[in-house]
Chain A
Amino acid sequence: MSFFEWKKRFGFLLHRTSRAEDLESEMQFHRELRAAKLEREGLSAKEADYAAQRRFGNKTLIQETSVSMWGWIWLDDAVKDLQYTGRILRQNLLFSAIAVLTLALGIGANTAIFSVINALLLRALPVHDPQQIYYLHVLPGQPDGAGNTGNSDSSFSEYVFEQLRTRQQVFSSLAAYVPAGINKITVRSGATPEEAAVDMASGNFFAGLGVGSVCGRTLTMADERNHTGVAVLGYGFWNRRFARNCAVIGQPLFIKGVPFTIVGVAARSFSGVEGTPTDVWIPLQKRPEFNAWGSAGENYYAAPKWWCLLLIGRLGPGVTPARAQAMLDPAFQHAAYEHLGGKPQKGETPRKLALVPARGIGESQDGIEKPLYVLLAMVGLILLIACGNVAMLLTARNAARRREFSIRLAIGGSQVRLFRQLLAESLVLVAMGAVLGWLFALVATRLLANWGQIEFSLTPDWRVLLFTIAISVFVGVVFGLTPVLTTLRVPAGLALKTSSATAYRERLKSRSARVTVALQVSICLILTVSAGLLVQTLRNLEHENLGFKTTGLLVFGLNPQLKTGSSKEAIRFYQDLLVKLRALPGVESVTLMGNRIGSGWSNNTGAIVDGGDPRSVSGTDSNAMRWNDVGPNYFTTLGIPIRLGRDFTEADSSSAPKVAIVNETFAQRFLKDRQPLGHQVSFTPKIAFTIVGVAANSKYTGVREQDVPMAYFPSMQMNDVGALHIELHVAGDPASFWKEIRSAVASFAPDIALLQPMTQRAQFDDGISQERLVARLSIFFGGLAVLLVATGLYGTLAYGVTRRTPEFGIRMAVGAQRRELLWMILRESLTICAIGVLIGLPLAIACSRGLASLLYGLAPYDPLTISLAVVGIVLVGLAAGFLPASRAASTDPLVALRYE
């Protein structure tokens, strides 16, 4: 269509009223001339007039056809459809409100959960051209003999990093980064020390990712080469701590007591590539106190066997991940074993590089993926139930409007027009539901972020918007079209006949409504069973015996501020600190630990028993052991029973004979049928520790931990003594002790902050916070499903009762008892529920199998949970049926029969 024609069309759009009048007068003139001519030919005036009109044709139709030639009819029609829709919806305000609210709940819940999934798992990093950014992994894990971190498959040694970095034809830039502590570490600007997440990064980290700065600059290669004392702040930290003041640039920031200079603030959108936002970035450091993960061992520059750096790279233009892997592998194979004996050990699986696309919030997504998709599935099912309800509402309402439709069809309204009208009503409802749902989702994501302690922006982006639009369209098709199609199948004459003529059709329709409700019940059963299983799991986790007394236990971490950094000085520091803390009133005992129990961190290694591999002695198939280094009186402080031998004491010092305590599982597995005391255990062939005690099993990494062989060694007998955690057993309200503890610690050095101070119980609770969130949400979703199904069931029954009022009247008139009518309706309700349960049970069991990996302490087909869910459904059936049933039972036969 030419521009000229469009211009003309718009002209007609703007002036279409006057143009239509013109056209009408033009045609009127035509008819007058024709009549005049016919009159001249001898007809009477009246006859001529009629004849002229006959020859002209249907003037209204012709007028409409002519106007349609201007090409704006669709717009007129759409406006009319919308106006009419608005009137209809306003007329049935309650109906509209229920429908829109139901849809909004369904769409909103889906949008909210998807927002979280999008933010945590799908969203590209907020950097320049994120499609080219990949994490470098090594499969199946680090080579044998390499120093371990928790991230075996994603960590590399500094040497390997340097070797890979030179391959510039593969990566346009390859950057390394690593946290400076397992948790947050101490930073100080001004007087009060605080905790911050500090990452060390290579000089090309920011430039390679394409992340700019808000103020000042980011890191440079020169910073890396000289290991400069400069710091780049994260936007969130800068906002929180420095109120977004650019004057911080040039100011000192003490990190672990070492002065750094703030040189810049990273771009707002970028919060790092760790699972949680990074507060401060500093260049890679050579100093011992800035080792990777805050480890006490040798710095990564000095220890080429320690694989600890995480790598992220931008692929060069046109390089695919597969090609990059092929190009890098030879260099990697060589570099990997350079410091590990030159070649893989005998029987070692070949190590391979893998490139993992950078998505979501970073690499720490373990374990959140599955629960999130479970939640998404739940809200998806809720949306289905919601659609069913609204579809039934619409069908019922359209049935009530049957007469209107028939009359419209009978007087010549086109089917297409009627179809469009009904579709417009559905679409308006969906659109309103979607908009309201979007608003719901905005609020819900904020709540979720608070609840789930998600420190990332969950703000919906285009991907979420697309998702919402997609599900709304889906909803529009599912619930919008179905009732429209069933309504339009009515022949024009039918509805004008008496109601008994339509009885058969009505029965069909109410049967389809009952089938819908039954299906809803089955979906609801899936949801309630899942929710039940997840809640039971949470209960089991919360009541799990941890193996120690949780009351009165406080824990905090710290990095000692030392002059020389030697282990000797550190040991001295801790001894003094323990004395000071023990002296505090109310403190019953104090001890130390290397890995904080309940935090998920652990040392894992193959056990060495009496200098050899325990597999050859005990005949077990695994030599895996966990170990921790702990302070004096560890078992007494935690209340872990000693089964044999003794607890550690102050006497087990660095100069005393090396000793160890093992747990019962260790003794049973590796020292079967032998007296465990006196045997030797170690994690390294270099030193042997003599077993002086056997302790009861207790949880180490978290609540879900299964019993594993476990060995404890005195912290003071470790080669390197660095950051430790302090555990106190106190009498009285634990929270009241922090103030005194702080001041006791502060008397040692100004730069020591208490790291993550909390009760030991809270630490273990933290470990199951995700399970708690999932359980709570699933309860909420299960409740929502029950509510929706109950209203759907109620609506269907109530509608049926209204329609059958005459029937009840007749039944009453011929002697039916009230109780019989009551039971009739309740039976109908229960039948629907029973069918739903029959369909739903196998589905629920199949779905709960998918949940298996999330459950704890119960089987997916837990009979108690399933029976409770079924009982719940029956109660819903009774409750939803009761009102309609009692209405049916109180039918007045006289009034009822008057209807006919």
Chain B
Amino acid sequence: MSADFTREEIPPGTLDLLILKTLDREGELHGFQIAESIQLLSQDVLQVEEGSLYPALQRILMKGWISGEWGKTPENRRARYYRLTRDGRKQLQSSLSRYERVSAAIGRIIQPA
């Protein structure tokens, strides 16, 4: 378990943003792929407790930001593939710009002038 030591918990609330961003980049993914993708892109720094992905997916699904469709994997296994909807893309844009504004503001405060 020593490998987990350097990993950080995902700050609450950002999971939605990460899922949306991932789907925006990759197009169509199933749950495991989303988890892998988030980990890979964050170079293993961000660690999702993988299960927590699913409540988040259900929540976003209900909001209509993503759609889920059952399909087959290359190994011919049944899996649900998620993709971004138009609403989801809009949501992503507004979340991102808000995130940038906030992090810029925080950056200005913590960076010595």
| B-binding residues in A (CB < 8 A) | 2, 4-5, 8-9, 12, 22-23, 25-27, 29-30, 33-34, 55-59, 62-63, 65-71
> How many Å from the CB of A10 to the closest CB on chain B?
12
Q: Are A59 and B51 in contact (CB under 8 A)?
A: yes
- Can you identify 7 A-B contacts, CB atoms within 8 angstroms? A12-B62, A27-B51, A30-B35, A56-B50, A57-B51, A69-B59, A71-B62
Choose, from B20-28, B74-82, B102-110, the stretch at the interface: B74-82
* Chain A residues whose C-beta falls within 8 Å of the C-beta of B30 in the assembled complex: 26, 29
Q: Are A69 and B58 in contact (CB under 8 A)?
A: yes
A8, A33, A34, A62: the one within 8 Å of B55 (CB): A62
A8, A23, A33, A65: the one within 8 Å of B32 (CB): A33
Q: How far apart sit A71 and B55, CA to CA, in the bound complex (Å)?
A: 12
4 other A-B residue contacts (CB within 8 Å) besides A27-B31, A30-B35, A69-B62: A8-B64, A29-B30, A30-B31, A66-B55
Q: Which residue of B lies closest to A53 (CB)?
A: B51
Q: Are B64 and A4 in contact (CB under 8 A)?
A: yes
CB neighbors of A among B61-79 (8 A): 61-64, 70, 77-79
Q: Does B49 contact A (CB under 8 A)?
A: yes
Q: Are B32 and A34 in contact (CB under 8 A)?
A: yes
Q: How far apart sit A27 and B80, CA to CA, in the bound complex (Å)?
A: 10
3 closest A-B pairs by beta carbon, nearest first, are A57-B51, A69-B58, A62-B51
Interface string of B1-44 (1 = CB under 8 A from A): 00000000000000000000000000000111001000000000
Asked, given contacts A4-B64, A26-B31, A29-B79, whether A34 binds B50 with beta carbons under 8 Å apart, the answer is: yes
Q: Are A66 and B54 in contact (CB under 8 A)?
A: yes
Q: How far apart sit A69 and B52, CA to CA, in the bound complex (Å)?
A: 12
Q: How far apart sit A59 and B35, CA to CA, in the bound complex (Å)?
A: 16
Q: Are A5 and B54 in contact (CB under 8 A)?
A: no
Q: Are A58 and B32 in contact (CB under 8 A)?
A: no
* Chain A residues whose C-beta falls within 8 Å of the C-beta of B61 in the assembled complex: 69
Q: How far apart sit A634 and B57, CA to CA, in the bound complex (Å)?
A: 100
Q: Are A57 and B49 in contact (CB under 8 A)?
A: yes
* Chain B residues whose C-beta falls within 8 Å of the C-beta of A22 in the assembled complex: 70, 80
Q: Are B50 and A55 in contact (CB under 8 A)?
A: yes
Q: How far apart sit A2 and B70, CA to CA, in the bound complex (Å)?
A: 25
Q: How far apart sit A869 and B35, CA to CA, in the bound complex (Å)?
A: 79
* Chain B residues whose C-beta falls within 8 Å of the C-beta of A70 in the assembled complex: 58, 62
> How many Å from the CB of B3 to the closest CB on chain A?
11
| A-binding residues in B (CB < 8 A) | 30-32, 35, 49-52, 54-55, 57-59, 61-64, 70, 77-80
Q: Which residue of B lies closest to A26 (CB)?
A: B80
Q: How far apart sit A27 and B32, CA to CA, in the bound complex (Å)?
A: 9
Q: How far apart sit A69 and B18, CA to CA, in the bound complex (Å)?
A: 19
B35, B50, B62, B79: the one within 8 Å of A26 (CB): B79
Q: Which residue of B lies closest to A23 (CB)?
A: B54
> How many Å from the CB of A26 to the closest CB on chain B?
5
> How many Å from the CB of A5 to the closest CB on chain B?
6
B52, B58, B59: the one within 8 Å of A57 (CB): B52
Q: Are A62 and B52 in contact (CB under 8 A)?
A: yes
* Chain A residues whose C-beta falls within 8 Å of the C-beta of B59 in the assembled complex: 69
B35, B52, B58, B63: the one within 8 Å of A23 (CB): B58
Q: How far apart sit A63 and B52, CA to CA, in the bound complex (Å)?
A: 10
> How many Å from the CB of B44 to the closest CB on chain A?
13
Q: How far apart sit A33 and B37, CA to CA, in the bound complex (Å)?
A: 14
Q: Which residue of A lies closest to B54 (CB)?
A: A66
Asked, given contacts A9-B62, A65-B55, A69-B55, whether A29 binds B77 with beta carbons under 8 Å apart, the answer is: yes
Q: Is the interface of B mostly helix, strand, loop or mixed?
A: helix
Q: How far apart sit A244 and B43, CA to CA, in the bound complex (Å)?
A: 91
> How many Å from the CB of B59 to the closest CB on chain A?
5
> How many Å from the CB of B5 to the closest CB on chain A?
15
Q: Which residue of A lies closest to B47 (CB)?
A: A55
> How many Å from the CB of A151 to the closest CB on chain B?
70
Q: How far apart sit A29 and B72, CA to CA, in the bound complex (Å)?
A: 12
Q: Are A30 and B49 in contact (CB under 8 A)?
A: no
* Chain A residues whose C-beta falls within 8 Å of the C-beta of B31 in the assembled complex: 26-27, 29-30
> How many Å from the CB of B112 to the closest CB on chain A?
40
> How many Å from the CB of A41 to the closest CB on chain B?
11
* Chain A residues whose C-beta falls within 8 Å of the C-beta of B49 in the assembled complex: 55-57
Q: Are A25 and B62 in contact (CB under 8 A)?
A: no
Q: How far apart sit A70 and B63, CA to CA, in the bound complex (Å)?
A: 10
> How many Å from the CB of B14 to the closest CB on chain A?
18
Q: Are A58 and B51 in contact (CB under 8 A)?
A: yes
User: For B58, B79, B80, which residue has the most chain A Cβ atoms within 10 angstroms?
Assistant: B58
Q: How far apart sit A5 and B54, CA to CA, in the bound complex (Å)?
A: 19
> How many Å from the CB of B28 to the closest CB on chain A?
15
User: For B32, B54, B61, B64, which residue has the most chain A Cβ atoms within 10 angstroms?
Assistant: B54
Q: How far apart sit A877 and B77, CA to CA, in the bound complex (Å)?
A: 77
> How many Å from the CB of A688 to the closest CB on chain B?
99
Q: Are A66 and B58 in contact (CB under 8 A)?
A: yes
B51, B64, B80: the one within 8 Å of A5 (CB): B64
Q: How far apart sit A138 and B112, CA to CA, in the bound complex (Å)?
A: 87
* Chain B residues whose C-beta falls within 8 Å of the C-beta of A55 in the assembled complex: 49-50
Asked, given contacts A23-B54, A55-B50, whether A30 binds B32 with beta carbons under 8 Å apart, the answer is: yes
* Chain B residues whose C-beta falls within 8 Å of the C-beta of A34 in the assembled complex: 32, 50
Q: How far apart sit A56 and B31, CA to CA, in the bound complex (Å)?
A: 12
Q: How far apart sit A34 and B32, CA to CA, in the bound complex (Å)?
A: 8
Q: How far apart sit A12 and B68, CA to CA, in the bound complex (Å)?
A: 14
Q: How far apart sit A550 and B107, CA to CA, in the bound complex (Å)?
A: 106
> How many Å from the CB of A33 to the closest CB on chain B?
4
Q: How far apart sit A23 and B31, CA to CA, in the bound complex (Å)?
A: 11
* Chain B residues whose C-beta falls within 8 Å of the C-beta of A29 in the assembled complex: 30-32, 77-79
> How many Å from the CB of A368 to the closest CB on chain B?
60
* Chain A residues whose C-beta falls within 8 Å of the C-beta of B63 in the assembled complex: 5
User: For A8, A12, A57, A59, which residue has the most chain B Cβ atoms within 10 angstroms?
Assistant: A57
Asked, given contacts A33-B32, A57-B49, whether A27 binds B54 with beta carbons under 8 Å apart, the answer is: yes
Q: Are A25 and B78 in contact (CB under 8 A)?
A: yes
> How many Å from the CB of A454 to the closest CB on chain B?
58
User: For B51, B63, B64, B77, which residue has the most chain A Cβ atoms within 10 angstroms?
Assistant: B51
> How many Å from the CB of A696 to the closest CB on chain B?
92
> How many Å from the CB of A63 to the closest CB on chain B?
8
User: For B35, B50, B63, which residue has the most chain A Cβ atoms within 10 angstroms?
Assistant: B50
* Chain A residues whose C-beta falls within 8 Å of the C-beta of B77 in the assembled complex: 29
* Chain B residues whose C-beta falls within 8 Å of the C-beta of A33 in the assembled complex: 32
* Chain A residues whose C-beta falls within 8 Å of the C-beta of B32 in the assembled complex: 29-30, 33-34
Q: Are A8 and B79 in contact (CB under 8 A)?
A: no
Q: Which residue of B lies closest to A65 (CB)?
A: B55
> How many Å from the CB of A55 to the closest CB on chain B?
5
Q: Are A56 and B62 in contact (CB under 8 A)?
A: no
Q: Are B54 and A26 in contact (CB under 8 A)?
A: yes
Q: How far apart sit A121 and B57, CA to CA, in the bound complex (Å)?
A: 61
* Chain B residues whose C-beta falls within 8 Å of the C-beta of A71 in the assembled complex: 62
Q: Which residue of B lies closest to A61 (CB)?
A: B51
* Chain B residues whose C-beta falls within 8 Å of the C-beta of A65 in the assembled complex: 55
Q: Are B80 and A57 in contact (CB under 8 A)?
A: no
Q: How far apart sit A26 and B35, CA to CA, in the bound complex (Å)?
A: 13
> How many Å from the CB of A851 to the closest CB on chain B?
63
Q: Are B62 and A8 in contact (CB under 8 A)?
A: yes
Q: How far apart sit A59 and B57, CA to CA, in the bound complex (Å)?
A: 15
Q: Which residue of B lies closest to A62 (CB)?
A: B51
Q: Which residue of B lies closest to A52 (CB)?
A: B50
> How many Å from the CB of B13 to the closest CB on chain A?
15
Q: How far apart sit A23 and B30, CA to CA, in the bound complex (Å)?
A: 12
> How many Å from the CB of B86 to the closest CB on chain A?
12
Q: How far apart sit A62 and B50, CA to CA, in the bound complex (Å)?
A: 10
Q: How far apart sit A56 and B49, CA to CA, in the bound complex (Å)?
A: 6
Q: Are A57 and B50 in contact (CB under 8 A)?
A: yes
> How many Å from the CB of A36 to the closest CB on chain B?
10
* Chain A residues whose C-beta falls within 8 Å of the C-beta of B78 in the assembled complex: 25, 29
Q: How far apart sit A25 and B30, CA to CA, in the bound complex (Å)?
A: 12
Q: How far apart sit A29 and B55, CA to CA, in the bound complex (Å)?
A: 16
Q: How far apart sit A841 and B62, CA to CA, in the bound complex (Å)?
A: 64
Q: How far apart sit A71 and B62, CA to CA, in the bound complex (Å)?
A: 9
Q: How far apart sit A34 and B79, CA to CA, in the bound complex (Å)?
A: 14
Q: Are B50 and A30 in contact (CB under 8 A)?
A: yes
